[in-house]
Structure 1
C-alpha cells in the first residue's frame, strides 16, 4: 500500500480487477508491490504515478478525498481501462472508509468540518432494515389506548443473499491464507463488501474492509500489523455473516451506518488527563480526556501526520475548540463550558463555527465528578467492560473496553517492565486487595512513560491514585495514563500545586522531590516469585496457535498436524488440563483441513471451503470466550495471581 495515494472505494478496486484477463491477474500482485514504492506526483488535487516510460495513471479524487468512481482513475496506455497499470495502482491505494463513499447526510449548518446528521431518522434508516409490529392479540383491546409491541424483523432476502456471498468470499480467503490471499481474492471480498453495503449490512461491510486492510498489512509486513487483530476481524466477519445468512433477527448484526458529528447542546466538562498518540502510520498527537458533570466521558483529539515529534509537541498545543485560548496541558487540568457542542459517536468533541467554549476552573481528582471515578471497586468496573456476548457490536464493545478506569493502588514490586500493585480497599489490610499488573501505555523512548515507571518501581509501598485503560488481552493488567496522590496519607506523591494533583505519565516527568522520603513508606511483604499469568500458562495456547496458523498459512498449514498424527501431543495436553472441548475442536479443524475428496476418475477434487470455515469459526469463537473467561477470573478474586 502506498500512503501517498488517495483512498479508493471498494467497488472501484473490485471492478478494475474483475476486468483483467486471467493472464494479467497472474501479474497483478507483483505490479502492486512495484507501484507501492513508486514516487507519486500530486498537483492541484490530481495524483499521477508513472508506470513506465510512456504510461501514466491519473487519479482525481472527489470532494471526500477518495476515488469513488471508475472515471476518476485513468491510464494513458492503449489497453485502458482494462489494463494492468490502472488495476495495480488502484490496488496499491488504501481502501476508503464506508462513509467516504456514501451520500452526504443532511447537516446542521455552522459546523466547520463537522457534518452533523439530521435528527429524526427512522429506525429502518439507521439499521438498514425495517421494524415490524407484532400481531395484536384478539383478547387485547385495540385503538388509541392499546399498546403495540415492536419486535425486530429478520434480515431481508437481499441481506441474506449478501451475507451468504460475503461468507463465501471470506471462506475462500481463510482457506488460502495470507500468502495466497493476493489482489484477486481481496477484490472478491471487496465486491462482496460493496454488495453488503448496498443491502444495508453496515457491520459486515466494516468487518470486511478491516480484513482486507489486515491482509494487505500482513503481506506488506507493515510495522503496525498484528496477526491477532487480523484473526479477530476474520472471526467477527464469519460470525456475523453466518448468523445473518441464517436469518437471525438480532438488529445488532445488521449494524448502523457510521454517523457524523451530531448536536450535543451545552456541556460542562472537566479535564482528567492527556494521552500521547503515536501511530504506526506516521501520525502523532494528543488526546485529552474529559468528564462531564453527569459522569460521561468525552475527548478532544489533535492527531496529525508527524509521528513522535508531533506527539511530544502536541501536549502543549492550542486546543482547536472555541476561542483557542487554552492548550491541552491546561485543558487536562482545567475545564470547559461548551455551547453548541457537536459530538461524534465515540464522544469526541467537534470544532466548528457554531461551537463556543469558555475555560472554567479545573477540579482535583478528589472533588465533584472526578472523585466518583475512584469510588467503584475494580472488580465491578472491569466486569462491565469485559462482559460481551457473541453477537455484541464490536465497535460498542471496543468503546466500552477503552473507557478509562480509576482506582487507588499500593505498589508492591516490579517484574520486568511491569509494576505489581494491589487495590486499596477502605478499612481492610493492603494484602486483601486485588493484585494487578501495571504496564506502560506507550513504551516509545521519546515519551515519559518508561522513565516514570522506573521511578515508581523504586518506591514499593507508595500509594497512588491511577487513571488508566484496561488491557483486555492480559491477565489483570492496567495501562496507566496519569497518577496522583491518595488522600489522607503521607505515603503518596507530593506534586506541585499547578499540577492540580495529577501527573500525565506520557508528558510529566516524576522527580525525586515528587516522592515522600523513604521513611514515610510502610514496608510491604515481598512477593517472592513473579505471579504466574493464568492465560499464558493455560494450554489453550495450542489451540490459539492453530487458529492463527490457519489465517497466516492457510488450509495446508493447518492440515500438517493431522498428517503427523498429533506428534506434538496437542490433544493429549489439552485433555490432561481439562480442556477437552478445545481438544475436540482442534482435532475437528485439522481433520477438516486435511479432508480430500476424489471424483469418479480418482482425481483430487476441490475441498469444501464452507465446512473448513465452520470448523475454524467454532474453534475461534471458543478460544475467544475461553481466554476472556480466564482474564475475567483474574479480576474477580484477590489471590487469582498468587
Structure 2
C-alpha cells in the first residue's frame, strides 16, 4: 500500500450505498456522523491494488474496493476492521466523505444487471425507462410517488438550511434520488445529486462554492418534483439518460477560439471551441491537475484524437473532419475507438461563407444567447452551449473593464435619417483575472483606443446586467477602424493566449460615433430585486429559522415597502408571505408539528425563487435590448 496525501481524492460512491449505510446506523451513531466525517479531513489514506485504505484510529481501517467503473457501487466494496462492521460509524463516515457518483440508468424491468455496474450511462439499453410520449398518458403512479418522496427530502434540506443539512439529511436526499432513478425520473435525480454536491462543497473550506449555485440547484429540484408529483405530463420533467452518441456521417468542424480553464482542486487546461456547418457547437477539452500554470501552457499543447496529432492553436484556427465521432452529452469530442480525424482548412470570422459564428449571431443584439428559461428542460444533448457574439465600438475604459456600444448589423433598426441606431452600452469584463493569462492586459490595450470596432465572442454574465466576458476578438469587415491581425490568426485573437500589440491596431481612429454617457449598469442588484434575492438566499443558507427573522422584527429594513415603491408588487407580496409562513409553525391536536407545515413552507419558497429567477431574466433581457 502506498501512502497518499490526507487530501487525496477518494473514489465516488453510488448514492444508494451511502444511503443504506446511514440507514443502518443507530440513532446515537447518526448524531455523531457529522463530527466523524469532519474528523476524516486529517486521516491518512493509502492506495494500492485498486483499493483505498483510510485509517480511522490506531487499530481501525476502512477499505474501499471500487468496481470496474472506478466507483463504489455495492455495499460489499466497503469494509471496516472494527467489531461493529458493517453497521459502524467508521465505514459510514468514510463513505460520507467520498464524492457522490454520477447518475447511472436503472436496468429495465425483468432484466438482470450485468456484473459491471459502471457509471457510464451509454451502457444501458435505450428502452430503459423511456419518457412518456407527449400524446400518451400522464406520468406513471410510481413516478408520482418517487417525486413526492424527493420533494419531501428536498423540503427537509430547505428547512435545515446549508448549515444544518449534514450527512444524515444528505443521505435521506440520496435515498430519495435512488428511488427516483428506479422510477425513471432522470432529471429529478440529477438535480438531487447536484444539491448534495453543493452542500458538500459548502462544508469543505478548500473547495470553492457558491450560495447562488446551491439556490439554483434546490430550485430546480423542488420545481421538477413539485410538477411531477402534481401529475404534470410534460416529458421534459422526466428527462432522459445522458449518453455519448455517434453522429450519422462525418462531422466537418471549424475552429473558433481557445478558452483557458482554471478549475477547482487545482485543475487547469484549455477548451477549444468548434462549430459545424449546421451551427452546432462542440469542444475539445484538455483539463488536468496543474492549476493556472498548466492553463497558461495548454494553449499550445498537443491534441491527440487516436492517431491524429495537432495542437490547440492550430485547431482553433483550422478545421477538422471526424468519421465515427463520439460526442459526450455536453458536446465534448471523445477519443474513442473507431474515431478517425483529418485536419482541414479553417475559416476566418470575416469570410462570406463562414458558419454562424460570425455571419448571423455576431451582428446585432446578443439577446438570443441569454441563458435558457429556468422552467425549460436541459439543453439539447450532444452539443455544447453556443457562445455569444456581437460587433461593438469601444467607448471608454472603466478600470479593468471596457464600456462599449453594440454596432447594429445590416438590416437592423435605423433612425429616420437612415443611419443605424446605436445599440445599448455593454460592459466587457475579463473572463479570467489571473495575471498569468492575457485577458486583462488585452482589454487594457483595447480600452486605450476609443472608437475602435471589434468583433467579440464570449459568454453573457448571468449575474451582471449587459456584461459580456469575451474569450476572443476579431476584425469587423467594412471599416478601417478595426483590428489588423496576422494572416495566421485567421482574423481573430484569443484573449487568454494571444497578446495584442500596437501593430495590431490602426494608427488613427475617428472619435466614437455616439458620445459616452453614464457607464452601463454593473449588476442586477441595481434594482430592488436584491431584497428578494437576499431573503431567498438567507433561507437556503440559514434554514427556515433564518427566513423567519424579517417577519419577527416587523420588516425592519422596509424591504417590502421598497419593492412596492420600485413597482415589484408581486415580489413584495411573495417576500412578505415567505417570512410569515417561515415564522408560523402549525401543530396538530397533540401539539406535534403539522405534517403539511414543511410542505407549505417549501412551496412558498419555491414560488418566491421562481419569481425571482424569472424577473431577473426579464430585466437582463430588457437591458440587452436597450
Q: If the length of structure 2 is used for normalisation, what is the TM-score?
A: 0.91
Asked if the contact 1:571/1:586 (under 8 Å) is kept, the reply is yes
Specify which of 573, 583, 604 is matched with residue 562 of structure 2.
Answer: 573
CA distance in 2, matches of 1:114, 1:585: 41
Q: How does 1:204-215 map to 2 (within 5 A)?
A: 204-215=188-199
Deviation at 1:319, TM superposition (A): 1.0
SS in 1 for 2:334: coil
SS in 1 for 2:457: strand
Deviations 1:235-265 (A, max 9, x none): 0000000100011100000000111243443
Distance 1:117 1:75, change over 3 A: closer
2:490 is aligned with 1:496: no
Structure-1 residue corresponding to 2:111: none
Structure-2 residue corresponding to 1:425: 408
CA distance in 1, matches of 2:575, 2:66: 47
2:461 is aligned with 1:474: no
Structure-2 residue corresponding to 1:32: 37
Deviations 1:197-252 (A, max 9, x none): 01100000000000001111112245421100100010000000010001110000
2:616 is aligned with 1:627: yes
Distance 1:153 1:281, change over 3 A: farther
2:43 is aligned with 1:60: no
Q: How does 1:164-313 map to 2 (within 5 A)?
A: 164-313=148-297
SS in 2 for 1:325: strand
CA distance in 1, matches of 2:381, 2:531: 26
Specify which of 9, 16, 25 is matched with residue 11 of structure 1.
Answer: 16
Specify which of 320, 331, 347 is matched with residue 336 of structure 1.
Answer: 320
Q: If the length of structure 1 is used for normalisation, what is the TM-score?
A: 0.89
CA distance in 1, matches of 2:238, 2:341: 37
Distance 1:28 1:101, change over 3 A: farther
Deviation at 1:521, TM superposition (A): 4.2
CA distance in 2, matches of 1:548, 1:119: 38
Deviation at 1:102, TM superposition (A): 7.4
Deviation at 1:525, TM superposition (A): 5.0
CA distance in 2, matches of 1:101, 1:245: 20
SS in 1 for 2:278: coil
Distance 1:231 1:544, change over 3 A: same
Deviation at 1:597, TM superposition (A): 3.3
Distance 1:242 1:398, change over 3 A: farther
Deviation at 1:53, TM superposition (A): 0.5
Deviation at 1:294, TM superposition (A): 2.6
Specify which of 423, 434, 451 is matched with residue 424 of structure 2.
Answer: 434
Deviation at 1:307, TM superposition (A): 1.6
Asked if the contact 2:403/2:520 (under 8 Å) is kept, the reply is no
Deviation at 1:97, TM superposition (A): 0.4
Distance 1:17 1:473, change over 3 A: same
SS in 2 for 1:407: strand
Deviation at 1:290, TM superposition (A): 1.0
2:584 is aligned with 1:595: yes
Structure-2 residue corresponding to 1:146: none
SS in 2 for 1:48: strand
The farther-off stretch of 21-30 and 192-201 is 21-30
Deviation at 1:309, TM superposition (A): 1.8
Deviation at 1:2, TM superposition (A): 5.4
Root mean square deviation, CA, Å? 2.7
SS in 2 for 1:206: helix
2:49 is aligned with 1:47: no
2:154 is aligned with 1:152: no
SS in 1 for 2:320: strand
Distance 1:460 1:70, change over 3 A: same
Asked if the contact 1:181/1:215 (under 8 Å) is kept, the reply is yes
SS in 2 for 1:617: helix
2:445 is aligned with 1:455: yes
Asked if the contact 1:464/1:485 (under 8 Å) is kept, the reply is yes
The farther-off stretch of 490-499 and 454-463 is 490-499
SS in 1 for 2:348: coil
Q: How does 1:78-157 map to 2 (within 5 A)?
A: 78-99=83-104, 117=122, 121-122=126-127, 125=128, 128-131=130-133, 151-157=135-141
The farther-off stretch of 249-258 and 314-323 is 314-323
Gaps in structure 2 of 5+ consecutive residues: 1-5, 109-117
CA distance in 2, matches of 1:304, 1:202: 29
SS in 1 for 2:349: coil
Deviations 1:568-591 (A, max 9, x none): 111111111111111110111001
Distance 1:433 1:501, change over 3 A: same
Deviation at 1:530, TM superposition (A): 2.2
SS in 1 for 2:303: coil
CA distance in 1, matches of 2:546, 2:604: 15
Q: How does 1:299-378 map to 2 (within 5 A)?
A: 299-367=283-351, 369-370=353-354, 372-376=356-360
Distance 1:397 1:117, change over 3 A: closer
Deviation at 1:388, TM superposition (A): 4.4
Deviation at 1:115, TM superposition (A): 7.6
SS in 2 for 1:432: coil
CA distance in 2, matches of 1:315, 1:207: 33
Distance 1:546 1:566, change over 3 A: same
Distance 1:197 1:176, change over 3 A: same
Asked if the contact 2:106/2:184 (under 8 Å) is kept, the reply is no
SS in 1 for 2:606: helix
Specify which of 561, 575, 599 is matched with residue 586 of structure 1.
Answer: 575
Distance 1:63 1:226, change over 3 A: same
4+ residue runs of structure 1 moved beyond 6 angstroms?
100-103, 113-116, 377-381, 397-400, 601-607
